[in-house]
Structure formats: structure tokens, C-alpha cells
């Protein structure tokens, strides 16, 4: 008769439901931080320089080079983008010039960036969360079978794994989650314009360049670029880059009262922002929405009238240099992070501020005259 064996202690499995979170030897060879330099009609998008500033910090922590990637047509002046990239911290710039890369199309740009990644193996690839960047990042990540964290508000390096820790809002902005791509490379992330600070350009800074070919002919591309039609309204509201923003919330009660926000913004020479409920109610255009599902701003002065300060709005404006909050509720969350607070009725405070600022401006004009 055999003896009964004692029950074995169950083995605790690590987090990840048994998935392998270790990098293979092949993926461990991936090194370097890349930033995709977005440009259109001779001008680079400023989010590219913002990402180079943040990428410089990441690369220094990893002890890796910071590289820019520029794709474009053979008759475009791509060298000037490289020189700008060097001034903002890039060590090396990868070029890819081809006639099919003149003007953005998903298919050739996806192949171009994917080919470069497969050849040079960067561990991190950053793109701006613009219309072009979002379109390109998703298709490149899908092609490379790697992870992508979109609309990040913070980027860091995890000291234990050397992985990119990408933080973004989730559950409607009520929580912030940090996502790491542990078992795949490259690690990809998109960041909205103005989320990261613009770095200072270092004049005279230089770097190295290299050039690769695409190997794709026009007849193999499904989409065709027929013409470029400029959006005549695209520059009318430039909220992310305004120095002064006056924003209103549903605490203003109705669209007639919201006009007080426009009055103060006009006197201050600023732009008008709004919360999502105001946009949904049709009080202002969607381009004026500040917050998680709107624009991210970093003005020198941000005046918030009738705004409670929910996390959905906060993530889009908390990096402002000075925040002035106006609210009737002294316990409103916005007073927790505002630099100055006015407890009062915005419908009374806004006209008073408009009148005071106008009087001050008139007085200064008289002195100059």
C-alpha cells in the first residue's frame, strides 16, 4: 500500500496571467529614442520639437542616442528640419526621400517608417498626437506588432525594467494610468501638442545624418494626392499656442452670459476656451474645447470662469504659468491647483475685470501718447 503524498503548495504565478514579459535577445538589441519629425508645406510641426525635448531626457536616462526621422520628397528642403532637430537635442537624423513621400499618405509613410525601424531597431518611437501622427502611429504599430500608448501626458523610464512608462488619462479622465510595453519593441507613444514644454534651441549644435531609400513606386499605392486645399479656418482659432486664454464653463448658465468671456479675452488680446459641456451645448465651436478630449494649452495666463476643475478639464490646462479661477463654490476642485482664486459670481466678476483691464490699458496708452 503506497503512502499518500502530501498536497503540494500551489505555485503563485506572476502578474500578467502567465504571459512572458521578458525581452528576447533580439529585442534587447533595440537601442535609441526616435522622434518622428512631422512637417507640411515647408514647416515642421512644433510638437516635433517638444517631443525632442522630452526625448532628450529619456535618451539621457537610458544612455542612448536621440534621433529624428524625416520623410519627404526629393525637392523638399529636409536638411533644414535636421538642423532644427540638432538644435533641439537630436544626435542623428534619418532621412528618407522619395517622390511618393511628398505630401502625407498613410501607405508610403507607414512603409518608410516601418522599414527604418526594422533596419535600425530603436527601443522608443515618439510621434505627435496630431491628425497625421495619430494616423501614422497606429498603422506603424500594427505593422510592427508592437504596443502603442496614445495621447500621453507624461513619459518616463522605469528604473527596474528600463521600459518606457507612458501615462495617459483613462475612464473618461477620472483616472491616470501608466502603461509599459514590456515584451515588445519598439515602444511607441503619441503626445498631444503643448503637453510637453518647448525646449530651448541650442544654436550651433550639430549632429550626423544618414539616408535610406523607400523602394515603393506610385502605381503600387492605392491612394493618390490630387491637390492640397488650405483650410481657411485653420488659423482663426490657435488655442494651444495662445499666451492668454479666458475659458468658461457651464457655471455661466447660458450662451448670453458666455459672451462675457469673449469680452474679457478681447481686452486682454487672448483666446477663448471652454469646457466640454459648453461645446456640447453649442455655445462655442469644438476648436475651443480645453481638456482631455479637446486641446492641451500652456498659456502664460489662464482665467477659468464658472469651471469646477474636473480632471477631464484639468489635464488640458494645468501646465499654464498662472491660473486664475472664478467660482461661487469655495470648495470647487479648481481652487486646489489654481494660483489665484476669486470666490464670486462669474457674471459679476468678468465684467468688472474687463472694465478694470480696459481702464488700465487706456491709462497706459495715454501715458505713451
Residue 12 reports pLDDT greater than 70:
no
Beta strand 43-44 with 39-40 is antiparallel
pLDDT of 235? 56
Q: What is the pLDDT of residues 134-180, one digit of tens each?
A: 999 999 999 999 999 999 989 999 998 999 999 988 876 667 899 99
pLDDT average, residue stretch 5-9: 49
Residue 352 predicted with pLDDT over 90: yes
CATH 3.40.50.620: which residues of the chain? 25-220
Q: 25-220 — its CATH code? A: 3.40.50.620
95-107 burial: b if 16+ Cβ within 10 Å, else e: bbbbebbbbbbbe
Angle, vertex CA 199, rays to CA 88 and CA 268, nearest 5:
135
Average pLDDT over residues 99-115: 96
CATH topology of domain 239-368: Rossmann fold (3.40.50)
pLDDT at 367: 80
Report the candidate in 13, 63, 6 with the shortest Cα–Cα distance to residue 33: 63
**pLDDT value at residue 10:** 45
Gap between the Cα atoms of 341 and 186, Å rounded: 45
Q: Give the pLDDT confidence of 226-257 residue by residue, as tens digits.
A: 888 776 655 567 899 899 999 999 999 999 99
By mean pLDDT, which of 4-8, 288-292, 326-330 is the weakest? 4-8
Q: What is the pLDDT of residue 233?
A: 58
Quote the pLDDT of residue 309.
94
* pLDDT for 16 beyond 70: no
Instruction: Report the pLDDT averaged over residues 348-362.
Output: 94
Residue-wise pLDDT for 72-90, tens only, equals 999 999 999 999 999 999 9
Q: For all residues of the chain together, what is the average pLDDT?
A: 91
* Ranges of CATH 3.40.50.1220 domains, the chain: 239-368
pLDDT for 291 equals: 92
Amino acid at each position: 500500500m503506497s503512502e499518500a503524498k502530501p498536497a503540494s503548495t500551489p505555485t503563485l504565478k506572476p502578474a500578467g496571467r502567465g504571459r512572458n514579459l521578458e525581452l528576447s535577445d533580439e529585442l534587447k538589441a533595440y537601442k535609441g529614442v526616435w522622434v518622428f519629425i512631422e512637417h507640411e508645406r515647408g514647416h515642421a510641426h512644433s510638437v516635433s520639437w517638444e517631443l525632442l525635448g522630452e526625448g532628450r531626457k529619456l535618451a539621457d536616462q537610458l544612455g542612448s542616442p536621440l534621433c529624428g526621422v524625416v520623410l519627404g520628397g526629393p525637392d523638399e528642403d529636409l536638411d533644414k528640419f535636421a538642423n532644427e532637430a540638432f538644435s533641439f537635442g537630436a544626435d542623428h537624423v534619418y532621412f528618407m526621400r522619395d517622390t511618393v513621400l511628398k505630401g502625407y499618405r498613410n501607405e508610403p509613410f507607414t512603409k518608410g517608417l516601418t522599414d527604418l525601424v526594422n533596419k535600425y531597431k530603436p527601443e522608443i518611437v515618439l510621434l505627435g498626437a496630431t491628425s497625421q501622427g495619430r494616423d501614422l502611429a497606429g498603422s506603424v504599430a500594427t505593422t510592427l506588432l508592437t504596443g502603442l500608448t496614445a495621447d500621453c501626458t507624461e513619459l518616463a523610464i522605469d528604473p527596474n525594467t528600463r521600459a518606457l512608462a507612458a501615462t495617459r488619462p483613462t475612464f473618461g479622465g477620472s483616472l491616470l494610468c501608466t502603461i509599459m510595453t514590456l515584451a515588445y519593441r519598439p515602444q511607441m507613444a503619441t503626445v498631444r501638442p503643448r503637453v510637453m514644454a518647448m525646449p530651448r534651441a541650442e544654436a550651433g549644435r550639430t549632429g550626423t545624418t544618414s539616408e535610406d531609400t523607400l523602394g515603393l513606386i506610385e502605381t503600387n499605392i492605392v491612394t493618390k494626392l490630387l491637390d492640397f486645399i488650405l483650410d481657411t479656418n485653420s488659423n482663426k482659432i490657435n488655442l494651444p499656442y495662445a499666451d492668454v486664454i479666458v475659458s468658461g464653463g457651464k457655471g455661466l448658465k447660458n450662451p448670453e452670459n458666455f459672451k462675457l468671456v469673449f469680452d474679457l479675452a478681447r481686452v486682454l488680446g487672448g483666446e477663448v476656451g471652454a469646457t466640454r459641456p459648453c461645446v456640447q451645448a453649442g455655445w462655442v465651436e469644438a476648436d475651443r474645447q480645453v481638456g482631455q478630449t479637446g486641446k492641451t494649452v500652456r498659456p502664460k495666463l489662464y482665467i477659468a470662469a464658472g469651471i469646477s476643475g474636473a480632471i477631464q478639464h484639468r489635464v488640458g490646462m494645468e501646465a499654464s504659468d498662472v491660473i486664475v479661477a472664478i467660482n461661487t463654490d469655495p470648495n470647487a476642485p479648481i481652487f486646489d491647483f489654481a494660483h489665484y482664486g476669486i470666490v464670486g459670481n462669474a457674471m459679476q466678476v468678468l465684467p468688472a475685470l474687463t472694465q478694470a483691464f480696459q481702464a488700465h490699458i487706456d491709462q497706459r496708452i495715454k501715458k505713451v501718447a
